[in-house]
């Protein structure tokens, strides 16, 4: 049986293709994939061969949004830190009295069932706000058992709900209380944890929190080189608070991405451009930390760096799974243009998770993932801020969110299709 052909049409389609980013036209899809993208009115021939036409003429269609940096699976929440933050405590001051360590305790204490249900609820919220693919880091277990548990949940989540989940092992998020110093913990990660993660195929990436007082540049190099040898791709949390040269190291190691970058050194920007390391910037984190600066996204773009924008969803520095919030802050905080931001949450984000051959732009052969905004132009998405502008979401050709309502039958079809692969 040949699969049905469907058409989505709009006069405002953001394509993720650099030489024709915005078109008035239509997308032909067959099954879970894009068949063709065309400009202008639907031809009589295309109309005749299609089974269904979705008319989104007053709305804006984009490739499904990709949230390329989150710490999805964790236990508990940290609203207790709010008063400290408002009293002026810095992220590192809070880190010393709780911070990541308190989430590690909550995550270890939670059952897998609790962790999975909490993450599933978050994923549903993400989907309702337009996200169709999400990167998810571990790093709130730190011990072998909890890290493997969290990474297995990442794998399971990819199968039991419609969004694509890309898994990252981030044992190097903090020094756990069982270890006195980084050296012994790094040996433990390299010799005990990473081989098991690899053997079970639980993560595509390894990430390190390279920061003053967390993991040094030398620590990061050691972990990064070992991870590369085992066949992992790299991501590095670099220059978030202090300028340490983390972005330069990411470029030198050939990391797929370098993330945060609020304090990136000027000389590391061309290094990232040369190595093709994607800069994942996280403006909602600057906002929530009440930090003074955003990552210099405009400058990085001007110097040829591929810039992606993500939520950094996590319980400490960005407890917000709505990617539109980060997009608004990229606009009004960083001064990026609407089309630059859409590029940052579609094709550039796909590059940050190494899935740009399958997702991120409206090209033939890629998955039919789309986000539809109640906005007649990209500008309107940013202009009408603070509300959820997403009304419809397509995953693998199925309309899983329909006029703001989840369509459980469409979700079931996506799951059946995913699990048959």
- Applying CB under 6 A, the residues found at the interface with ligand NIG are 71, 99-100, 103, 209, 237, 240, 285, 312, 314-317
Of ligand NIG, Fe ion, none, which one sits near residue 235, judging by CB under 5 to 8 A according to partner kind?
none
Nearer to ligand NIG, 238 or 381 (CB): 238
Of ligand NIG, Fe ion, none, which one sits near residue 389, judging by CB under 5 to 8 A according to partner kind?
none
Give the shortest CB-207-to-Fe ion separation in angstroms: 8
Nearer to ligand NIG, 37 or 241 (CB): 241
Binding-site member from 268, 312, 374, 398 for Fe ion (CB under 5 A): 312
Give the shortest CB-94-to-ligand NIG separation in angstroms: 8
Q: Is 321 in the site for Fe ion (CB under 5 A)?
A: no
Query: DSSP label at 191?
Result: I
Q: What is the phi/psi pair of residue 388, to 5°? A: -80, 110
Nearer to ligand NIG, 61 or 172 (CB): 172
Of ligand NIG, Fe ion, none, which one sits near residue 146, judging by CB under 5 to 8 A according to partner kind?
none
Phi-psi map region of 254: left, alpha, beta (phi>0 left; psi -120 to 50 alpha) = left
Count other C-beta atoms under 10 Å from residue 416's C-beta: 9
Nearest-CB residue to ligand NIG? 316
Of Fe ion, ligand NIG, none, which one sits near residue 285, judging by CB under 5 to 8 A according to partner kind?
ligand NIG
Show the binding pattern over residues 181-210: x = contacts Fe ion (CB under 5 A), - = does not. ------------------------------
Nearer to ligand NIG, 32 or 102 (CB): 102
Nearer to ligand NIG, 61 or 297 (CB): 297
Q: Is 356 in the site for Fe ion (CB under 5 A)?
A: no
Q: Is 211 in the site for Fe ion (CB under 5 A)?
A: no
Note the residue count of the chain: 421
Q: What is the phi/psi pair of residue 291, to 5°? A: -80, 160
Nearer to ligand NIG, 6 or 71 (CB): 71
Count the alpha carbons within 13 Å of 345 in the hemisphere toward its beta carbon: 34
**Of 187, 262, 178, 265, nearest in space to 219 by CA:** 187
**Of 136, 68, 74, 132, nearest in space to 102 by CA:** 74
For residues 147 and 160, what is the distance between their CA atoms, to the nearest angstrom?
20
Of ligand NIG, Fe ion, none, which one sits near residue 123, judging by CB under 5 to 8 A according to partner kind?
none
Judged by CB under 5 A, the number of residues near Fe ion is: 1
Give the shortest CB-325-to-Fe ion separation in angstroms: 15
For residues 139 and 151, what is the distance between their CA atoms, to the nearest angstrom?
10
Surface-to-core class of residue 57, CB atoms within 10 Å of its CB (0-12 exposed, 13-18 middle, 19+ buried): exposed
Report the alpha-carbon angle 17-380-336, nearest 5.
60
Give the shortest CB-275-to-ligand NIG separation in angstroms: 22
Give the shortest CB-155-to-ligand NIG separation in angstroms: 22
Nearer to Fe ion, 35 or 327 (CB): 327
In Å, what is the CA distance from 179 to each residue of 189, 275, 312? 12, 35, 27
Q: Is 240 in the site for Fe ion (CB under 5 A)?
A: no
Nearer to Fe ion, 56 or 288 (CB): 288
Report the alpha-carbon angle 150-155-159, nearest 5.
135
For residues 327 and 254, what is the distance between their CA atoms, to the nearest angstrom?
27
Count the alpha carbons within 13 Å of 60 in the hemisphere toward its beta carbon: 22
Query: DSSP label at 291?
Result: -
Of ligand NIG, Fe ion, none, which one sits near residue 63, judging by CB under 5 to 8 A according to partner kind?
none
Query: DSSP label at 70?
Result: B
Per CB under 5 A, residues contacting Fe ion are 312
């Amino acid at each position: 049986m040949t699969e049905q052909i469907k058409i989505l049409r709009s006069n405002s389609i953001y394509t993720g293709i650099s030489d024709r980013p915005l078109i008035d036209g239509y997308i032909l899809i067959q099954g879970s994939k894009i068949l063709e993208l065309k400009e202008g009115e639907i031809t009589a021939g295309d109309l005749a061969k299609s089974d269904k036409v979705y008319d989104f003429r007053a709305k804006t269609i984009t490739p499904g949004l990709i949230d390329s940096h989150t710490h999805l699976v964790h236990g508990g929440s940290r609203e207790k830190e709010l008063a400290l933050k408002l009293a002026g405590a810095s992220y590192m001051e809070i880190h010393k009295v709780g911070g990541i360590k308190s989430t590690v305790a909550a995550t270890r204490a939670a059952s897998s069932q609790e962790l999975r249900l909490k993450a599933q609820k978050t994923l549903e919220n993400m989907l309702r706000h337009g996200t169709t693919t999400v990167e998810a880091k571990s790093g709130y277990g730190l011990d072998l058992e909890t890290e493997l548990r969290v990474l297995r949940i990442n794998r399971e989540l990819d199968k039991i709900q419609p969004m694509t989940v890309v898994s990252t092992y981030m044992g190097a998020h903090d020094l756990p209380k069982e270890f006195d110093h980084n050296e012994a913990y790094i040996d433990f990660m390299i010799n005990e944890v990473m081989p098991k993660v690899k053997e079970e195929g639980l993560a595509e990436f390894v990430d390190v929190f390279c920061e003053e007082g967390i993991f040094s540049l030398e620590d990061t190099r050691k972990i990064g080189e070992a991870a590369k040898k085992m066949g992992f791709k790299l991501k590095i949390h670099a220059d978030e608070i202090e300028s340490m040269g983390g972005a330069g190291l990411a470029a030198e190691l050939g990391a797929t991405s370098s993330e945060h970058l609020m304090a990136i050194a000027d000389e590391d920007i061309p290094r990232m451009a040369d190595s093709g390391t994607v800069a994942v910037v996280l403006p909602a984190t600057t906002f929530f930390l009440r930090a003074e600066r955003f990552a210099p996204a405009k400058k990085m773009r001007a110097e040829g760096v591929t810039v992606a924008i993500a939520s950094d969803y996590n319980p400490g520095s960005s407890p917000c799974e709505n990617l539109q919030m980060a997009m608004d802050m990229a606009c009004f905080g960083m001064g990026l243009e609407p089309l630059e931001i859409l590029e940052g949450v579609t094709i550039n984000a796909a590059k940050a998770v190494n899935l740009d051959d399958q997702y991120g732009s409206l090209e033939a052969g890629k998955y039919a993932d789309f986000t539809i905004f109640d906005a007649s132009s990209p500008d309107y998405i940013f202009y009408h801020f603070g509300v959820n502008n997403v009304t419809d979401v397509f995953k693998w050709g199925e309309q899983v969110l329909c006029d703001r309502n989840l369509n459980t039958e469409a979700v079931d079809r996506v799951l059946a299709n995913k699990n048959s692969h």
